[in-house]
Amino acid sequence: MSKINTRYNALINHESGKSYDISKPQSFCTEDHEPLIAQYDMSQPLNKGILQGRPHTMWRYREMLPLWDDQYIISLGEGFTPVMSMEKLKAKYNFKQLTLKEEGGNPTGSFKARGLGMAVSKANELGIKEFSIPTAGNAGSALSAYCAKGSLKANIFMPKATPKMFQLDCQIMGASVNVVEGNISDSAAAMRAANTDGKWWDVTTLKEPFRLEGKKTMGYEIAEQLNWKLPDVIIYPTGGGTGLIGIWKAFKELKELGWIDELPTRMVAVQTTGCDPIVQAFEAGLHSSTPYEHPAETIANGLRVPHAFGHKLILKTLYESGGCALAVSEDDMKSALSEYATEEGHFLSPEGAAVWHAAKRLKEENWIKHDDHVLLLNTGSGYKYAENLW
């Protein structure tokens, strides 16, 4: 790729606005434990014609990504996943426009490639060599792959209940894998205990600012692939929430750039009935969530997140966009997964199946209207989850 200047110019605490030095590695605001958000210089116009002829990867939005120098990009071809029409299910459930963005075709089989491709590339630019992460599976696979490609080192901490395929995936790419009893918060605690001297760069969701910048490219792509006319509803499976927050950040940036005229999208967060801290906070009208005490095991490993570090940002996105949050049971996820496979010929991740079930329920409740364009996110391939589904 030719050299293109980024407009990245600041990192701020999203609540206090406190600014951080962008020439050094920064994690999160240590004063009040809030995520840091990358900002871009919007003072000069940027014409969307610049996209013409650029490669179909997430790096095509280069000006709005935080790397200074292209030589540090570690890429496996992530991004520009298809938006597919769900013809049969659309007719069956009487939706006017129903589409699904299929993230399973990304490197290592999930949307996590975007966030970790970006975070590892930016850390690479800042001279970081060794990383660590607590993961429900997909993020560990992605970190392992980008570290392998960049000759860097990955330390993975995953719950024992994670399907074995994820463990194998990380090991085969040369990562050091630690399997931990309990849920992802227990894995995070084990990681921190092993990293008291800070030898590893911790890329836990939103505890560094750049996974969010990679995930936001889903929003840029949705806009571009729909010819700059956004859907009315986006339904997203929410664990740590980076994708949901990222898509919304992208839409607001696109509006500021003048690449879209309107921002009609209501953002919907989907969780499981056994672990739904965001749903509970949303239903109570709160702006923060409380850690979920006993998160139940689920076939959708990525949704077993008892406390999202970005909980306030998730809830802010839901309120700002006029969206909502709902929880789906294990049985409903399983039958949605089978229905989608038999009707549309596609093996969704359990997280994606939760989204499909949520779409039907919101339509039934008339929260989604017939005329709405509804876009679902299938965040990963179903194949790695086989052992959850036998």
Ligand X SMILES: Cc1ncc(COP(=O)(O)O)c(C=O)c1O
SS3 190: helix
Residue number of the CB closest to ligand X reads: 302
Rank residues 22 and 340 by Cβ distance to ligand X and give the closer one: 340
Q: Which of the ranges 66-74, 221-229, 239-247, 279-287 carries the binding residues for ligand X, by CB under 6 A? A: 239-247
Rank residues 125 and 137 by Cβ distance to ligand X and give the closer one: 137
- Could you say which residues in the range 154-193 bind ligand X, by CB under 6 A? none
Question: Applying CB under 6 A, does 140 fall inside the site for ligand X?
Answer: no
Question: Applying CB under 6 A, does 214 fall inside the site for ligand X?
Answer: no
Q: Which residues contact 259 (CB under 8 A, 6 or more apart)?
A: 48, 223, 228
Tokens of 207: 């505890």
Q: Which of the ranges 4-12, 143-151, 188-196, 241-249 carries the binding residues for ligand X, by CB under 6 A? A: 241-249
Residue 21: CB atoms within 10 A of its CB come to: 9
Rank residues 115 and 231 by Cβ distance to ligand X and give the closer one: 115
- Could you say which residues in the range 340-359 bind ligand X, by CB under 6 A? 349, 351
The distance of closest approach from Cβ of residue 261 to ligand X in the complex, given in angstroms and rounded to an integer, is 28
Q: Which of the ranges 45-53, 117-125, 131-139, 152-160 carries the binding residues for ligand X, by CB under 6 A? A: 131-139
Q: Do 215 and 249 contact (CB within 8 A), yes or no?
A: no
**C-alpha distances out from residue 76 to 73, 117, 243, 269, Å:** 10, 8, 19, 28
Rank residues 219 and 241 by Cβ distance to ligand X and give the closer one: 241
Question: Applying CB under 6 A, does 13 fall inside the site for ligand X?
Answer: no
Q: Which of the ranges 14-22, 26-34, 238-246, 357-365 carries the binding residues for ligand X, by CB under 6 A? A: 238-246
Question: Applying CB under 6 A, does 239 fall inside the site for ligand X?
Answer: yes
Question: Applying CB under 6 A, does 205 fall inside the site for ligand X?
Answer: yes
- Over the window 83 to 112, marking each residue x when it contacts ligand X by CB under 6 A and - when it does not, the resulting string is ---------------------------x--
Q: How many chain residues are in contact with ligand X, going by CB under 6 A?
A: 17
SS3 145: helix
Q: Which residues contact 334 (CB under 8 A, 6 or more apart)?
A: 299, 350, 353, 389
Considering Cα of 305, then 311, then 316, then 317, what sign does the dihedral take? negative
- Could you say which residues in the range 293-312 bind ligand X, by CB under 6 A? 302
Cα dihedral 118/124/129/134 (nearest 10): -10
Q: Do 26 and 92 contact (CB within 8 A), yes or no?
A: no
C-alpha radius of gyration, the chain, whole number: 19
SS3 99: strand
Options 159, 219, 237, 306; binder of ligand X; rule CB under 6 A: 237
- Rounded to the nearest 10 degrees, what angle do helices 138-149 and 164-172 cross at? 10
Question: Applying CB under 6 A, does 213 fall inside the site for ligand X?
Answer: no
Question: Applying CB under 6 A, does 317 fall inside the site for ligand X?
Answer: no
Interacting residues with ligand X (CB under 6 A):
110, 136, 138-139, 205, 237-243, 302, 349, 351, 379-380
